Chains A and B, each alone.
Chain A
Amino acid sequence: MMPLLQARHLAVAIGGRSVVADLSLNLAAGQCLAILGRNGAGKSTLLSTLAGLRPAQGGDVLLQGDDLARLSPREAARRRGWLGQSPVDPFAATVLETVLTGRHPHLGRWDWETPDDARIAGEALAAVGLSGLEGRAVQSLSGGERQRLAIATLLTQQPLLFLLDEPLAHLDLNHQIAALELFTKAAHECGAAVVMVLHDPGLAWRYCDQALLLYGDGTAEQGAANQLLSAERLSRLYGHPLKALDDGGRRCFIPD
């Protein structure tokens, strides 16, 4: 079966520093990939390259076998969604207006949102627990609520591939787990694929099938999450000794 997301000999650099020199990866429908690494290792840069938002220094990214660089922005937006870090809105907007922007790639040039689009948006707001806030001004939301609104906008976009840059930022523990359940459910039940930048290797171990470790010097390691994520390897990744604690099918890593 054709992988949903494919990177071939991808080279990514930022500010003169190499993030990955020659990365090849395959992600099939239904799979979750976690990207882990230190601050400044280039996790977000790699993710936005995989989203086609910045050019790669070499190699290419394929979505369902099609070269991402050759897809029109609209067509790309129907296939992959990207969750960025804390956007700021200079102009006032309501929650409903914001979440409806996710429908943009599905609407024709002169179309307005239909009741069907409103239903999809309403379901997305319900999924992140923001029902009833449709008329609220975005500026009046808390950081965590804004992050959930961004997730709802992404769900409204209904892409096949979710690229998530720190999806758990600003979220409480209960919402962190809810968000992870939401995306893994999208992968396992709806045939989506998910790539997410995470900070907690324990959550990556629990929710992701694959992991990609960025060492920040152009080298990377990838493999099945439950094999790759060991205390020894993560200690080297973060440059700090870590201890793994197992608890009946779950594993958490605590700094020594």
Chain B
Amino acid sequence: MPTRRRALIVLSVLLLLALGSMALGLAAGSLAIGPAELFDGLFGSGEGVAADVVRGLRLPRVLGAFACGGLLALAGALMQVLLRNPLADPYVLGISGGAGVGALFALLLGFSAALVGGLAFVGALGAMLLVFGLAHGDGSWTQTRLLLTGVIVAAGCGALVALMLSIAPENRLRGMLFWLMGDLSQVNAAGPVLLLLALTLLAAMPFARELNLLSRGMLQAQALGVAVTRTRRLVYLIASVATATAVTTAGSIGFIGLVVPHLVRLAAGNDQRLLLPASVLAGGSLLVLADTAARTVIAPQQLPVGVLTALIGVPLFLFLLGRQTR
């Protein structure tokens, strides 16, 4: 029996995990910062190097990582319901491909960081509208048609990305590759991303029970009182905006959007009322931990965070999957 009480307990545990991972992310680094200094830097009027590092460098990055991880996990959970496909992730419908084309184009021409973000967002929205328009073509708007259209658009974007990589000069190639693998070092202000995370989650939550029904089939959901077409359009829009925001902020960080919803599902069930907020907290925590590892493991060199999300996520996922088999 799904109860609000159980959901709140699970969410409280995940909230503690999120706060813990953020504290770790703030404390760890080439300059190790103790708990007292950390608290002072965050809440007190702390001055000096430690406070500057915490407030100026690590806090935006940690909050940005949390927001991006949460957005990707939310988008992944929504896409899996929308397409009724456990293999769906935020990138399956070509939104990250569109963002990649925009961002790499800007990087290729040596534009500023702000323009890279802007063009990535334009690319993401372009891909989203293209897929929506094409999938609506014959009015059926079925899962299969949507999925096929998205995969084809993603493939087209992939070809453009490969083309730009192959003609890029040596000195820009590294930046382009890092963008593609996901890179959180460019995050300067986490405010807008956190705001969008809150907005997309708040927009999705009222429809959580409808999503439970949609995952069982469109006709069945309609028979039980779901306004199917309207709800699916809304879910597509929310998931697309969430993905576009995350990709624009931190590049295509793989794996979180696919695996975190499954992790939560294996641990806490498939009730979207719990799954959506729990995925946000778990996805955010996982990305904060991965990013902290990415910048400390072989410091001062930084690893692409997407590599770390996979390295942490794969064993965790396999462990939970193995535990589930009875």
Name A residues whose Cβ lies closer than 8 Å to a Cβ of B: 48, 51, 53, 72-78, 81-82, 84, 87-94, 96-98, 100-102, 104-105, 107, 109-110, 112-113, 118, 157
Residue of A78, A87, A112 ringed by the most chain B CB atoms within 10 A: A112
Q: List 30 A-B contacts (CB under 8 A).
A: A51-B223, A53-B219, A53-B223, A72-B225, A73-B226, A77-B223, A77-B225, A84-B217, A87-B217, A90-B84, A90-B86, A91-B265, A92-B265, A93-B216, A94-B269, A96-B1, A97-B2, A97-B271, A100-B1, A101-B213, A101-B224, A104-B210, A104-B224, A104-B225, A105-B225, A107-B209, A112-B2, A113-B1, A118-B1, A157-B224
| Least Cβ–Cβ distance between A35 and chain B, in angstroms | 17
Q: Would A109 and B206 count as touching, CB distance under 8 A? A: yes
Contacts of B80 in A (CB 8 A): 91
| Least Cβ–Cβ distance between A221 and chain B, in angstroms | 28
CA distance A98 to B215 in the complex (A): 11
Residue of B222, B225, B269 ringed by the most chain A CB atoms within 10 A: B225
| Least Cβ–Cβ distance between B68 and chain A, in angstroms | 25
Contacts of A78 in B (CB 8 A): 225
16 additional contacts (CB under 8 A) given A97-B271, A109-B209:
A53-B222, A81-B223, A84-B219, A89-B215, A89-B216, A90-B215, A91-B86, A93-B216, A93-B270, A94-B269, A101-B212, A101-B216, A104-B213, A109-B206, A112-B4, A118-B1
Return the CB mask of B1-42 against A: 1 if under 8 Å, else 0.
Answer: 111100000000000000000000000000000000000000
Contacts of B219 in A (CB 8 A): 48, 53, 82, 84
Contacts of A91 in B (CB 8 A): 80, 86, 215, 265, 270
| Least Cβ–Cβ distance between B320 and chain A, in angstroms | 13
B58 on interface, CB distance cutoff 8 Å: no
**With A96-B1, A100-B2, A101-B216 in contact, do A74 and B265 touch (Cβ < 8 Å)?**
no
CA distance A78 to B224 in the complex (A): 8
Name B residues whose Cβ lies closer than 8 Å to a Cβ of A: 1-4, 80, 84-86, 206, 209-210, 212-213, 215-217, 219-220, 222-228, 265, 269-271, 273
Contacts of B206 in A (CB 8 A): 109-110
Which A residue's beta carbon lies closest to that of B209? A104
Query: When A and B form their complex, which 6 residue pairs have the shortest distance between CB atoms, in order from nearest?
Result: A77-B225, A105-B225, A82-B223, A74-B225, A73-B225, A112-B4
Contacts of A93 in B (CB 8 A): 216, 270
CA distance A179 to B85 in the complex (A): 33
CA distance A113 to B6 in the complex (A): 13
Q: Would A112 and B273 count as touching, CB distance under 8 A? A: yes
Contacts of A102 in B (CB 8 A): 224
CA distance A90 to B269 in the complex (A): 14
CA distance A118 to B273 in the complex (A): 18
| Least Cβ–Cβ distance between A185 and chain B, in angstroms | 22
| Least Cβ–Cβ distance between A102 and chain B, in angstroms | 7
Contacts of A75 in B (CB 8 A): 225
Which A residue's beta carbon lies closest to that of B3? A112
CA distance A78 to B223 in the complex (A): 10
Residue of B85, B212, B215 ringed by the most chain A CB atoms within 10 A: B212
Which B residue's beta carbon lies closest to that of A83? B223
Contacts of B271 in A (CB 8 A): 97
CA distance A84 to B220 in the complex (A): 7
| Least Cβ–Cβ distance between A92 and chain B, in angstroms | 6
Contacts of A98 in B (CB 8 A): 216
**With A92-B270, A101-B216 in contact, do A84 and B223 touch (Cβ < 8 Å)?**
yes
| Least Cβ–Cβ distance between B324 and chain A, in angstroms | 9
Which B residue's beta carbon lies closest to that of A118? B1
Contacts of B86 in A (CB 8 A): 90-91
Contacts of A48 in B (CB 8 A): 219
